[in-house]
Structure 1
């Protein structure tokens, strides 16, 4: 009898189907003929060829986030910064000019300040709470403007609608990092954004166990350029991380609402605590852009709170030591509350003068509020703040 080769086949479930999507870690996918392979590359049939170019878990996750953001054919990348790099490096060339918000995430600022100039792309950082500041910075060679709706970590709120109008009039791409706010607070495409990106690692995945990004362009040709750049530079997302993130999305709305409610309570408690010199939370009446927060975010303050204490680094050390049970970690969006000190983490690469210009002192903290019991969380912060006051004197 002639022997034949058989590829392994996953057993079918018969008349039933799995409730939870499977993890598909295969690096390569076999096709029947050269014609069928051509059809996949040309887009006339659906299929996968090589995991760097796409795989089922990334596809499922991308479509879920697409639906949340009102996008089509978004691309999942290996990290949030990979999504940023796909935009800044994949869509610019020598001679271009890029404008960025001066309160962008620290690594995004570094890419603009150090990496783009090496490639002959000039950059300008401006206060994006003022659309006129963006308009004044635009040059004939300006290619794009990149902003966060709510800045990291100062929680200032960009004039999204005003900047979108300016960019549309000038023919400049508007790129919005929607990581902090998420589609639950604002959908940037509905406000005129051309490109939207996320660090999926954060609130969308929500459990600090998956490192991923997502990016989509409204224009299909731009979206294809992003996809090709991501594939060429190997910004591949792990199937396992994609699977974890898709699991996380199932509880995203519940997590967002619970964390947001607690964040509001924490902000109010901090504002009434001796030794706290400043509190930033979008829905508080004392926020610099309180009116815009109500209009743009529809009263959603999200889960991030920033505050400043007296006493400098010594008081900061005392707070993190005494706030037992709160992870001191440079991340956000986890089910557990995390406390970040930008001067020693995300913005440590800036000069003291550069940090001061952004309002980041040695006593400045950013809190990503999680899902703990609110009373217990507030009590823990009270302990930490008491220890900080004792040091500050």
Structure 2
């Protein structure tokens, strides 16, 4: 009979070492043992720190959250399973039936769906207003508005919110300002610096940078709000994968380099597209012809990012010709990858909107959103030249 202490189904203690790993260990364990019930009580009452069950937190999430905290200049952020999970945790953690939410009219497509369909059926009143028009947006912050959700730079039309005016009006109304900082990232602007009460990210995108993780991040400046968001994320099971957190942390090691190279490429691509005959319009905040260029220059201080939007005439047929000719450019509904990707909002991120609704925010069948990567500029200009030429 085998010794029960050596049976194969028992866990082997982790090897002790006088050295430490240079890379962050991956810890996929679901559960963590405690010395006794008192030790577990001390953990849950926060007299001590540690982990008990992965849905409530795990080491890889804590390591990654601390890095993003440092980027945003805050403390206590948490990781969840996706960017939309971050928004969901905020909405369901802080809102109740009868509350009112005001959102920017040019939010990410799924955020718009949440505003238009999901929150109203939960008894939360919602409204949208143009964040580039401070008078109209301020007027829309009516009594009863509990929360305001905006993106500093919108997806996909790259309009720039008058975030300082919005923050001032939100504070005056006693509402909470939530800034989705996914597009801009802390390299261009930090939520805390523009008056956000809550900042969130789809870490899936430029922060992780390799299209191989799905994660979100959220941080609230008020500890009571942060606890409510955390409790909601834990109760709803919006748990981040340890492996995804591990990969995203690795991605952050090169974030500064990727951001600078991709941004430089975006400047060159935007200028090149503007000179291509079939292109009817180019939107890039760093260009003088962008409708919000002056505001972007003040807010972003020259760090205009890696996103470029352009439009061709000819409707869906012309769009399909361009996509088929873009053999070297992945056509995919994502952004922030090290490689340049091409997206068609009308058939992906904003497909749930009607043609009229899309037109109201500047999206046509010929609108393309480009997430510019870190390839050599010569490659990008050649690839886009061929693709646009096919129109």
Q: TM-score range by the shorter chain?
A: over 0.9
Partner of 1:303: 306
Q: 1:245 aligns with which of 245, 248, 253?
A: 248
Q: 1:228 offset after TM fit, Å?
A: 0.4
Whether the aligned pair in 2 keeps the contact of 1:55 and 1:239 (CA below 8 Å) is yes
The alignment status of 1:312 with 2:322, answered yes or no, reads no
1:135 aligned counterpart, secondary structure: helix
Deviations 1:165-193 (A, max 9, x none): 11111111000000000000000111110
Whether the aligned pair in 2 keeps the contact of 1:131 and 1:166 (CA below 8 Å) is no
Partner of 1:10: 14
Instruction: Determine the C-alpha separation between the residues in 1 that align with 2:150 and 2:80.
Output: 19
Partner of 2:257: 254
Provide closer, same or farther for how the CA distance between residues 221 and 274 of structure 1 changes in structure 2, counting only shifts above 3 A: same
Whether the aligned pair in 1 keeps the contact of 2:141 and 2:169 (CA below 8 Å) is no
Partner of 1:63: 66
Deviations 1:120-144 (A, max 9, x none): 1011010001222222112221101
1:20 aligned counterpart, secondary structure: coil
Partner of 1:161: 164
Instruction: Determine the C-alpha separation between the residues in 1 that align with 2:342 and 2:73.
Output: 32
2:19 aligned counterpart, secondary structure: coil
Q: How does 1:321-360 map to 2 (within 5 A)?
A: 321-360=324-363
Q: How does 1:168-247 map to 2 (within 5 A)?
A: 168-247=171-250
1:327 aligned counterpart, secondary structure: coil
Instruction: Determine the C-alpha separation between the residues in 1 that align with 2:59 and 2:244.
Output: 12
**Count of residue pairs the alignment pairs up:** 386
1:95 aligned counterpart, secondary structure: coil
Gaps of 5+ in 1: 389-393
CA RMSD of aligned residues (A): 1.1
Q: 1:292 offset after TM fit, Å?
A: 0.6
Q: How does 1:27-66 map to 2 (within 5 A)?
A: 27-66=30-69
The alignment status of 1:365 with 2:368, answered yes or no, reads yes
Gaps of 5+ in 2: none
Instruction: Determine the C-alpha separation between the residues in 2 that align with 1:192 and 1:159.
Output: 12
Whether the aligned pair in 1 keeps the contact of 2:331 and 2:343 (CA below 8 Å) is yes
Instruction: Determine the C-alpha separation between the residues in 2 that align with 1:332 and 1:359.
Output: 19
Instruction: Determine the C-alpha separation between the residues in 2 that align with 1:323 and 1:3.
Output: 62
Deviations 1:251-303 (A, max 9, x none): 00000000000000000001111011110001100011111111000011100
Partner of 1:379: 382
2:346 aligned counterpart, secondary structure: helix
Partner of 2:147: 144
Deviations 1:305-341 (A, max 9, x none): 0000011111111111111110000000001100000
Q: 1:4 offset after TM fit, Å?
A: 5.6
Partner of 1:391: none
Q: 1:373 offset after TM fit, Å?
A: 1.1
Report the TM-score, using the length of structure 2 for normalisation.
Answer: 0.97
Instruction: Determine the C-alpha separation between the residues in 2 that align with 1:187 and 1:90.
Output: 23
2:30 aligned counterpart, secondary structure: coil
Q: Which runs of 4+ in 1 moved over 3 A?
A: 2-7
The alignment status of 1:89 with 2:92, answered yes or no, reads yes
Partner of 2:131: 128
Whether the aligned pair in 1 keeps the contact of 2:270 and 2:308 (CA below 8 Å) is yes
Q: 1:3 offset after TM fit, Å?
A: 6.6
Q: 1:284 aligns with which of 284, 287, 290?
A: 287
Q: 1:111 aligns with which of 106, 114, 126?
A: 114
1:196 aligned counterpart, secondary structure: strand
